[in-house]
Each structure stands twice: as structure tokens, then as C-alpha cells.
Amino acid sequence: MKTEIATKQNNAETISSIPDNWNFGCIKDLVRVKAGYAIKSSDFTDSGVGVIKIKNIGNRIVDIENTDKISLESFNKLASDFILSTGDIVVAMTGATIGKVGKIKSTNQKYALNQRVARFISENKHDLEFVFQYSDTKDFIDAINNYANGAAQQNISADDIASIQILIPPTNERRIIAEILSSLDDKIELNRKINSNLEKIASLLFKQWFVDFEFPNESGKPFKSSGGKMIDSELGEIPYSWTVGKLGDCFDIKYGKSDKDISEDGAYSVYGAGGLLGFSNTFDYKGPQVIVGCRGTCGNISIIFEDSKITHNSLIISNEWGNFFLYLYLKNINIKDVITGSTQPQITIKDLSSLNVLLPSKEIVDTFSQIIDPLFLNIKTNLLENIYLNKIRDSLLPRLMNGKIRVKI
């Protein structure tokens, strides 16, 4: 049985039905919300302990690799509430990314919590995870926007976040909901890490063969360091059987298609220069495709494994080499050298086609592709699995949080 109850969220009253044994409460009934410390500008140094700022909060993750630093001495003066480590959850309180929530992944480092970033605190890890999952729902995002709207510079306080209303299941049900959703997150993150490592391996092999020219010679030894014949070219010394040409003479380059058929749902992904834009029920291009951002996010090189739509803000590049090799090849070309326009940066087909590029022998490319293609096929498998898992998670999340799907205890 469900009960209808009137709720009030920042002066907006709604009628909601809730499952038996569930209650309406606030985030503060499950976790504490603590704002960060106002670290003085004079405390920042070139090295030391990382500081988590708004800029470090990404899409449900926290970037711990690119942090500003404070000295260990300054860090040691901070109270425990301002010290972050693995599993801690933070939320942006100001600006364009207000309400964005991220979790610190596995690390052996400690970090300082800066002002205008809040954190959720609880001794109960399941309640902490439950609130983290809730923060990805439309209800949470709408509540943040309701509090923040009306000011030129959007702001929200820790008390505002703590006061956001939330449906609270019984303790054991909260635990199971948190475990289900976090297990999906963990699998998605594992696949992402595997893909990152596989691409790093492929990139290192590419550098060895096509930058350092240490591909295997006829005897299986590194070509250049074993005395392989090199010749002069416009791009410096290159192996004797390789040539230099114009990118446009060797590659097919075309713009993506202008398309307004973009929605939040659909069977196929829609990509632009900066990445995923949304979804559509139809596709224009069979995967894989290699694209280069040509407007806005210029020079960004991506490989799209699935069937998709690609907008006119990207250039689609192809040739006989195969898209896995082509992706690595383009990432090692200074494509950003041909960006024009300061107000609206762009890359044109004409300018990109004029680039001088190194053209290795087909035999070397074919041999290399036999090594790296299996790596990219594994990346494709993991990526397509993540797309599937994300769809499952996005479908389950609101239904688990509002009780439309119940879990067995």
C-alpha cells in the first residue's frame, strides 16, 4: 500500500505517494553536510597536499590528479571535517556547476576541502552511498536549482543542501538500494580503468614504432637503434621506405551532419566536438568512426565504436589503414596547429588537409594493426557494456528511489 502525502520543497508544494514504511525526511536526517574551509590564497604553494575545489568535481567523480596545493604545515592545521580521502563525497555550491556531486575514488592520499565545496559526512557508509545515488536524481537537481535561482551568481549553502527533502526507506532497504546502484557504478568504473590502461598500452606501442622508429626490422630487432637506414625529409629524419605527404591527399575528410533530432532517450548516441550530446532513434554512421572536433572544442580526437549520429561540429576522417590505427595516428599529429579564429575557434577541411604528415609503409601499418586491433576490440566490448550498464542504472535509479521498484530484504 502507498500513502499520499503533501510535501514542500523550497515553497513548491506537491502531492506524492510513498510506499508503506517509507518516510519523507531531509538529507540531514541521513548525513551531515559540511562546507569547506576558506583557505587563504597565501597558503597555496607549488607543491604539497592537494586541495579539492569546484573545478575538480566532474561527472560523479573528483579529479585528484590536477589539484592546487597547500603546504603540509597548512594542511595539518585543518580540522578533520576538512580532510578528504577515498570514498568521500563532495558537492559544488557555487557557479555554473552548482549541485554537481563527485566521489573520490581509490587513493592513498589525503586532500583539503576548499570553500564553496561541501561534503557529506556519515559514519554509516550505506547512508552516505544512498545520498550519493540520490544526488543523481532529477528531484535533487531540481531542488538545487530551486534554491539557487534568482541570483546573478548562483549559490547554495550547506544548510540548504541539508534541507533538501528525500524519501527515506527503512535502514535495510536503504542499504540494499545503495549496494545495487554502487555495484553498477563499480563495474562501469572498472571497465573505464581497463580501457584507459589498454589505450595507454596501444599509445606506447605506437610511439615506439612510429615516433621513435623502433618497429621490428627483418630480424625482429628495433629498426633505428639497430642501424636502420634513415633519410632526410621536411619532418626530419624518417625511415627510408616512408614518405611525407599532405593529410588531405591521403585521407577522406568530411563534416558530420547538422541534426536537431537529439533527445535524452534513444537507441543511438549523438556525438559532437565535445563528446556525447544526447540520443536519437536513428543513426547516420556505422561504428567505428574517428572524429576531430572542428568547432568549439577544436582538435579533440575521438573514436566512436557504436553506430551513431555525428554533428557538423566534427570532422569524420577515414582511409584504408583502419580506424584503430588512424585514431592513434591522428593523436600524434599537431592538429591544433591549424585552429583559426579567436572568438569562434574552428578547423576547416582545407586547413586540416594542408598539414604535412608522415606516411609509413603499408606493411608496417598492417603488422602493427594485427597487434593493436585486439586491444581496441576489448575496449569496444567494455565501452558498449558501459553504455548498456548506464542505461540500466539510469532506469533503475528513479524507480528505486521513489519505491516504484521494491527490493527484497
Give the mean pLDDT of the chain.
92
Per-residue pLDDT, averaged over 355-375, amounts to 96
Q: Are residues 24 and 109 in the same domain?
A: yes
Per-residue pLDDT, averaged over 143-154, amounts to 78
- Give residue 224's identity as a one-letter amino acid code: K
How many structural domains does the chain have? 2
Rounded Cα distance, 3 and 18, in Å = 5
CB 62 within 8 A of CB 90: yes
Per-residue pLDDT, averaged over 295-312, amounts to 92
- Give residue 343's identity as a one-letter amino acid code: T
Share of the chain above pLDDT 90, in %: 79
Q: Are residues 69 and 136 in the same domain?
A: yes
Q: pLDDT band at 266, cuts 50/70/90?
A: confident
Structural domain contains residue 50: yes
Per-residue pLDDT, averaged over 226-250, amounts to 95
Rounded Cα distance, 275 and 223, in Å = 38
Count Cβ neighbours within 10 Å for each residue of 9-46 and write b for 16 or more, e otherwise.
bbeeeeeeebbeebebeebeebbebbbbbebeeebeee
Query: Which of 14-23, 212-221, 262-271, 369-378 shows the lowest mean pLDDT across its residues?
Result: 14-23
Q: pLDDT band at 3, cuts 50/70/90?
A: low
CATH of the domain at 21: 3.90.220.20
Share of the chain above pLDDT 70, in %: 95
Q: Tell me what pLDDT residue 162 has.
A: 97
Higher pLDDT, 131 or 343: 131
Count Cβ neighbours within 10 Å for each residue of 187-213 and write b for 16 or more, e otherwise.
ebbebeeebeebbeebeebbeebbeeb
Structural domain contains residue 175: no
Per-residue pLDDT, averaged over 229-257, amounts to 94
Q: Tell me what pLDDT residue 336 has.
A: 86
Structural domain contains residue 235: yes
Q: Please, what is the Cα angle at 11 between 19 and 136, to 5 degrees?
A: 55
Q: Are residues 81 and 23 in the same domain?
A: yes
Has residue 360 got a pLDDT over 60? yes
Nearest CA to 50 out of 22, 80, 75, 87 is that of 75
Rounded Cα distance, 393 and 72, in Å = 40
Tally of residues, the chain: 409
Rounded Cα distance, 112 and 80, in Å = 10
Structural domain contains residue 403: no
Q: Are residues 296 and 148 in the same domain?
A: no
Q: Are residues 161 and 198 in the same domain?
A: no
Q: Are residues 265 and 297 in the same domain?
A: yes
Largest CA distance in the chain: 81
Q: Domain of residue 151: give its range.
A: 2-168
Q: Tell me what pLDDT residue 229 has.
A: 96
CB 304 within 8 A of CB 271: yes
Q: Are residues 70 and 161 in the same domain?
A: yes
Q: Are residues 136 and 273 in the same domain?
A: no
Structural domain contains residue 349: yes
Q: Are residues 150 and 211 in the same domain?
A: no
Q: Tell me what pLDDT residue 260 has.
A: 76
Rounded Cα distance, 216 and 165, in Å = 63
Q: Are residues 134 and 203 in the same domain?
A: no
Structural domain contains residue 357: yes
Where does residue 234 rank: exposed (0-12), middle (13-18), buried (19+ CB within 10 A)? exposed
pLDDT 10s digits, 160-190: 999 999 999 999 999 999 999 999 999 999 9
Q: Tell me what pLDDT residue 263 has.
A: 83
Nearest CA to 382 out of 181, 184, 192 is that of 192
Higher pLDDT, 286 or 264: 286
Nearest CA to 306 out of 289, 291, 294 is that of 289
Higher pLDDT, 205 or 1: 205
Per-residue pLDDT, averaged over 197-214, amounts to 98
Q: pLDDT band at 11, cuts 50/70/90?
A: very low
Backbone angles phi, psi at 17, to 5 degrees: -105, 140
Q: Are residues 208 and 141 in the same domain?
A: no
- Give residue 347's identity as a one-letter amino acid code: I
Structural domain contains residue 32: yes
Nearest CA to 313 out of 330, 333, 292, 342 is that of 292
Structural domain contains residue 311: yes
Q: Are residues 130 and 209 in the same domain?
A: no
Q: Tell me what pLDDT residue 4 has.
A: 52
